[in-house]
Amino acid sequence: MNNLTINYGSQTSPELTGISYEDANDLITELILFIEDVNADNDMEYPAHLNKIQALLNFAVAN
Q: For residue range 4-32, what is the model confidence (pLDDT) as tens digits? A: 555 555 666 666 677 788 888 898 999 99
Distance CA 7, CA 40 (A): 34
Please give the pLDDT value at position 61: 66
In the predicted structure, residue 58 carries a pLDDT above the cut 70? yes
Neighbouring C-alpha atoms within 13 Å toward the C-beta of 16? 14
Give the whole-angstrom CA distance, residue 46 versus residue 51: 9
| Angle of CA points 10, 33, 14, to nearest 5° | 30
Backbone angles phi, psi at 45, to 5 degrees: -105, -40
User: Which pLDDT score is estimated for 4?
Assistant: 53
Is the distance from CB of 3 to CB of 33 less than 8 angstroms?
no
